[in-house]
Amino acid sequence: MKNQNQNIKQFKLSSQARAGIIIANMEDQENDDHDISKPHRDNHCQLMLALNGSFKLNIDFENIEFNAPALLWIFPEEVHHIIEVQNPKGWMISFDPSLVNKEVLQLFQHKIKNLFLLDKESNFYEQLIILMDLIEKIQSDEANNFSYKSIHSLLNALLNRIAGEIFTNLSLDKEKENRSIIIKEAFLRLTKEHFKNWKQPAQYAASLSISVSHLNDTVKSLTGSSVSAHIQEESILEAKRLLYFTVNSVKEIAHEVGYDEPVYFGKLFKKVTNLTPLEFRKRFRD
pLDDT tens, position by position, 93-134: 999 888 887 778 777 776 667 888 999 999 999 999 999 999
Per-residue pLDDT reduced to its tens digit, 261-275:
999 999 999 998 889
Is the Cα torsion angle 75, 228, 201, 255 positive or negative in sign?
negative
Q: Let me know if residue 4 belongs to a domain.
A: no
Is residue 86's pLDDT more than 90?
A: yes
Together in a domain, 14 and 153: yes
Structural domain span for residue 52: 10-166
Together in a domain, 103 and 199: no
Is residue 173's pLDDT more than 80?
A: no
Together in a domain, 196 and 266: yes
Domain total for the chain?
2
50-64, 155-169, 268-282, range with the lowest pLDDT: 155-169
Whether this prediction's pTM lies above 0.85 is answered by no
Q: Across all residues in the chain, what is the average pLDDT?
A: 86
Per-residue pLDDT reduced to its tens digit, 16-63:
888 889 999 998 765 456 678 888 888 899 999 999 999 999 998 889
pLDDT, position 39: 85
Is residue 4's pLDDT more than 60?
A: no
Of 7 and 254, more confident: 254
The residue from 148, 166, 184 where one domain ends is: 166
What CATH number does residue 255 fall under? 1.10.10.60
100-104, 138-142, 166-170, range with the lowest pLDDT: 166-170
